[in-house]
């Protein structure tokens, strides 16, 4: 079924992103896997192409597109290449950008956004802690006021872009007795005394993604680095999480579609028992189910993208999109591995790498169990 979401401008943009991927990322895929981070040259090239500042007004160096469909195109095309690359770019372009555009002062915008758009300032957001997981209200990292500054102590983990980031938005507890209502966000810049990075985490999948532990030991930041309102951090995060979840959903389907297409071709080419393995009834029926399931999921995600573009995507619909798209992606990829047989377990085949890369999508951005909890509460349960 033809998708009706995008217009000619979006498809022109898609062609530009696809050319960027072919020219800049594809030739160095193995290098990125081995070194476990994306070279700054790639970020700078993305900045020169205008990919990093889609939501940033033109006066600060962005393109001011004000159309989330361009974000969706970027996520889809990057995910076709690599789930990890889509994740790293998504953190910067889709997740951090709204914080820096919507919550910052004029001085902060002028200080950070031009470099954000050019790729000279790479960003990350530090919410998750070793003991907290999806429970953001239970975070233990503290920020204590000291004159005109704040002193931050604590640690974060599973932070995408963690080792490479020049600017990290850190969720801290500023008024402990207020619990969730006592959280404040601060921007911590690279080189700040007491701010250090731990090891690059050795993940099951997505090796290209720079994922790290972050440590804050008496890190002094000025009040001018506060993002948003004092003690308003939890509300800010809840308001902006729907975009993170729809971003993940878009990438989930963008990632799985080419692998399913490749598996379908493999099922036509591979012979067993004197015939194409795809013509065996079990495999034929299975592929029919997988294609249908993906197309139905795509229709829902497209509706969510459209709703988000006009400010009508609810947190509950975003939760549905996040858990369902990650579930569908993982189910399809598991079958793709099985259809490839022994080759499906070989790293040289994209199905194997995609299968490993996708597993975390049922965990991050709020685990699927948390998504169902949110949906269940909305049902009055």
Q: Which residues are catalytic?
A: 244
Question: Any bridge partners for residue 215, and if so which?
Answer: 155, 196
Helix (H, G, I), strand (E, B) or coil at 343: helix
Q: If you write DSSP's letter for every residue of 303-325 in order, what string do you get?
A: HHHHHHHTT---HHHHHHHHHHH
Q: How far apart are the first and last CA of the chain?
A: 36
Q: Where are the beta strands (DSSP E) in 338-379?
A: none
Contact status, residue 331 vs residue 294, Cβ threshold 8 Å: no
> If you search the block for the tokens 């062609």, which residue do you land on?
15
CA–CA gap between residue 319 and residue 238 (Å, rounded): 12
CA–CA gap between residue 349 and residue 293 (Å, rounded): 23
How many CB atoms lie under 10 A from the CB of residue 85? 23
Contact status, residue 324 vs residue 361, Cβ threshold 8 Å: no
How many CB atoms lie under 10 A from the CB of residue 153? 16
At 217, give phi and psi (nearest 5°). Answer: -120, 100
CA–CA gap between residue 84 and residue 107 (Å, rounded): 33
Say how many residues make up the chain. 381
């Amino acid at each position: 079924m033809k998708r009706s979401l995008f217009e000619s401008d979006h498809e022109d943009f898609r062609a530009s992103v696809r050319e960027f991927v072919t020219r800049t990322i594809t030739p160095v895929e193995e290098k990125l896997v081995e070194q476990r981070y994306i070279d700054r040259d790639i970020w700078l090239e993305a900045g020169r192409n205008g990919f990093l500042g889609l939501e940033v007004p033109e006066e600060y160096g962005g393109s001011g597109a004000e159309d989330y469909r361009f974000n969706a195109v970027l996520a889809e095309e990057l995910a076709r290449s690599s789930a990890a690359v889509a994740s790293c770019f998504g953190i910067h372009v889709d997740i951090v950008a709204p914080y820096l555009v919507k919550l910052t002062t004029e001085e902060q915008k002028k200080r950070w956004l031009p470099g954000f758009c050019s790729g000279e300032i790479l960003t990350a957001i530090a919410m998750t802690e070793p003991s907290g997981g999806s429970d953001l209200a239970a975070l233990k990292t503290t920020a204590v006021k000291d004159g005109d500054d704040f002193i931050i102590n604590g640690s974060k983990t599973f932070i995408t872009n963690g080792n490479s980031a020049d600017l990290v938005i850190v969720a801290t507890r500023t008024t402990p007795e207020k619990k969730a209502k006592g959280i404040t966000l601060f921007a911590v810049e690279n080189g700040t005394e007491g701010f250090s990075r731990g090891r690059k985490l050795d993940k099951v999948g997505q090796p290209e993604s720079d994922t790290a532990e972050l440590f804050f030991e008496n890190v002094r930041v000025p009040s001018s680095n506060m993002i948003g309102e004092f003690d308003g951090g939890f509300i800010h995060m809840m308001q902006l999480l729907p975009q993170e979840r729809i971003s993940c959903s878009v990438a989930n389907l963008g990632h799985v579609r080419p692998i399913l297409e490749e598996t379908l071709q493999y099922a036509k080419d591979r012979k067993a028992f004197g015939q194409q393995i795809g013509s065996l009834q079990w495999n034929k029926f299975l592929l029919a189910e997988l294609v249908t399931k993906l197309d139905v999921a795509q229709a829902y995600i497209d509706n969510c993208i459209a709703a988000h573009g006009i400010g009508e995507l609810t947190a509950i619909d975003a939760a549905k999109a996040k858990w369902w798209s990650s579930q569908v992606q993982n189910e399809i990829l598991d079958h793709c591995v099985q259809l490839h047989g022994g080759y499906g377990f070989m790293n040289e085949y994209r199905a194997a790498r995609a299968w490993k890369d996708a597993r975390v999508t049922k965990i991050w951005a709020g685990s699927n169990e948390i998504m169902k909890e949110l949906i269940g509460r909305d049902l009055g349960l």
